[in-house]
A and B are shown apart, each in its own frame.
Chain A
Amino acid sequence: MIKGYLGPLGDDFPAIFPIALGLMFFFGAITITYQNYDMKQEMTTLMRANLALSKAVRTQLEFDPEFWETACNVLEDTKANYGVMAKMGIIEVKYVEDGNYETNPEYEGYELEEYIYYDDNGYPKTIEPCGDLMEKGKPIPKENDFVVVMYYPVIIKESGVNKPVTLVIMTWKA
């Protein structure tokens, strides 16, 4: 019997732990890298889709209620396998109620308000959002889904002037 010699298997047994640890590091890093890459890939795919959809919709700078209907149809036709939602509005600065607006207004955030226009009879109307969240049976984003929201400046003609408004397009994977 040789002193300190445990046998062919016993001698090599301690080496298993660092080998196993090394392999765990390696494959763990592959998994984390792939997950990180996959997540970024999904975000960039959604951003690309959103940009492409906005270009398809914004064939002109001026959006009026009639063109909005055309824009919504274009969105429906070109969205492919994405869920989309489009909305027109004006982003307004909201101030805290206690703020002294004259000397030191403190804003608490920016909110997208629905755009209100007046028809020929002087009645106020809004431009209704369009997209998958407005209809039953259409794909809606699930809890952990990425949703990309992008804002685009456009013009609405009202009372003889061209007003700046915001077109908001949301995209998610259907």
Chain B
Amino acid sequence: MKGQAVVIDAIFFMLVCGMAATALFWAGSVYGNKTYEAYKYMYLNDYETSMIAVLGEMSYKDGDTVRYWMTELGEYMKGTFNESSNRYTLLQENFQKLCVQAPAPVLLIVSSPTPGAKRGYCPFAGGKCEKLYFACGRLLDNTWDLSLNETIQNSDGTTTYVVNETKYPYYSSPVTSKMCSTLRCEMVTKIYY
């Protein structure tokens, strides 16, 4: 009888040890993962901020004319040219040149609170808010298999997709304000890691 009691105590001890071990393992994993995730987000934030900064400086040639991407974006939003124009094609093509450099698929969302914007006008005071989306090639790839619910344009202007932004995990930069031509543009970048 004494021996039986000791064995029962020992089994109880084993169960307690097992529970303690599981709790320890779980806590260690959670802490390790949280720290790793924090640095990953720090990197993504740095990347997104740098990407918007590069968009602000990026330029390209349209014949003999040097065009700045951010200025061209503003002109497009003001209605100076539309999707059938070569300027729009160059705008999209040059965005693609930058966004394929990203470590993961990128979505750039642009809007402007300035009343002069014919496209992407999103007033501060409320009312109908329109946004423009620039999606990177990988987001538009069939293998990515996005199920979508917002409209974006393909880089060649011919295919329309919509993005269900809640389906895939992403990191979003804070809203960055930039001057695009004479408009003020509010920009958000999302990286789908």
Contact A33 B25 (CB under 8 A): yes
CA separation between A22 and B11, bound complex, in Å?
8
In the complex, whether B137 has a CB less than 8 A from a CB of chain A is: yes
Q: Which residue from B11, B16, B18, B36 sits with its C-beta under 8 Å from A40?
A: B36
Q: Which 10 pairs across A and B sit closest by C-beta, in order of nearness?
A: A29-B21, A22-B14, A40-B32, A33-B28, A22-B17, A11-B3, A15-B10, A18-B10, A18-B14, A164-B98
Task: Give Cα distance in the complex from A12 to B43, angstroms.
Answer: 58
With A29-B25, A161-B66 already in contact, the answer to whether A91 and B101 are too (CB < 8 A) is: yes
Q: Is the CB of A25 within 8 A of B18?
A: yes
Q: Could you tell me if B13 and A22 are in contact, using CB atoms closer than 8 angstroms?
A: yes
User: Whole-angstrom distance from the CB of B85 to the nearest CB of chain A?
Assistant: 20
Chain B residues within an 8 Å CB radius of A54: 46
**Bound complex: CA A37 to CA B46 (Å):** 25
**Known contacts A17-B10, A47-B39, A152-B50; can you find 18 more A-B pairs with CB under 8 A?**
A16-B10, A21-B14, A25-B21, A33-B29, A37-B32, A40-B32, A44-B38, A51-B46, A61-B57, A90-B101, A92-B100, A107-B137, A150-B103, A151-B102, A153-B47, A159-B61, A160-B61, A163-B97
CB distance from B50 to the nearest CB of A (A): 5
Interchain nearest-CB distance for B162 vs A (Å)? 21
Chain A residues closer than 8 Å to B39, beta-carbon distance:
44, 47-48, 51
Interchain CB contact under 8 A, A107 and B141: yes
What would be 30 A-B contacts, judged by CB atoms less than 8 Å apart? A12-B6, A15-B3, A18-B7, A18-B10, A18-B11, A19-B14, A25-B14, A25-B21, A26-B21, A32-B25, A33-B28, A36-B29, A40-B32, A40-B36, A44-B38, A51-B39, A54-B46, A110-B100, A150-B43, A151-B47, A153-B47, A153-B101, A153-B102, A160-B66, A161-B61, A162-B58, A163-B60, A163-B97, A164-B97, A164-B101
Least CB distance, B153 to chain A, in whole angstroms: 18
Please name the residue on chain B nearest to A93 by beta carbon.
B100
CB distance from A132 to the nearest CB of B (A): 21
CA distance A111 to B50 in the complex (A): 21
| Size class of the A contact interface (CB-based, 8 Å) | 35 or more
Size band of the interface chain B makes with A: 35 or more
Q: What CA separation (Å) do A16 and B16 show in the bound complex?
A: 15
Residue of chain B at shortest CB distance from A10: B3
A15 touches B32 (CB 8 A): no
Beta-carbon nearest neighbor of A29 in chain B: B21
A62 partner residues in chain B, CB cutoff 8 A: 57
State the CA gap A21–B63 with chains docked (Å): 77
Residues of chain A in range 1-59 having any CB-CB distance to chain B below 8 Å = 6, 10-12, 14-19, 21-23, 25-26, 28-30, 32-34, 36-37, 39-41, 43-44, 47-48, 50-51, 54, 58
Is A154 close to B, CB under 8 A? yes
**Residue of A whose beta carbon sits closest to that of B32:** A40
Tell whether A170 is near chain B: CB-to-CB under 8 Å.
no
- Bound CA span A6–B97, Å: 82
**Complex Cα–Cα for A6 and B57 (A):** 87
**B residues 66-101 with Cβ under 8 Å of A?**
66, 97-98, 100-101
Q: Is there a chain B Cβ closer than 8 Å to A85's Cβ?
A: no
| Chain A minimum-CB-distance residue to B5 | A15
- Nearest residue in B to A46 (C-beta to C-beta)? B39
Is A75 in the interface zone, CB < 8 Å from B?
Answer: no
A86 at the interface (CB under 8 A from B): no
